[in-house]
Chain A
Amino acid sequence: MRNAILKALDKNSKRTPKELAVMLGYEEEAVRQEITQMEKEHIICGYPTLINWDKTDLERVSAWIEVKVTPQRGQGFDKIAERIYKFDEVESVYLISGEFDLAVMIEGKSMREVANFVSSKLSTLESVLSTSTNFMLKKYKEHGMEIAGVSTEDERMLITP
Chain B
Amino acid sequence: MSIKQISVFLENKPSTLKAMTGVLAAHHIDMRALSLAETKDFGIARIIVDDVYDAVNVLKEADFVANLTSVLAIKVPDEPGGLDRLLQVFADCNLNIEYMYAFIGGKDEKHAYMIFRVRDHRAAEQKLVSRGLKILSQEDMQEI
- Whether both chains belong to one complex is answered with no
- Chain B positions within 8 Å of A, measured between CB atoms, are none
- Chain A positions within 8 Å of B, measured between CB atoms, are none
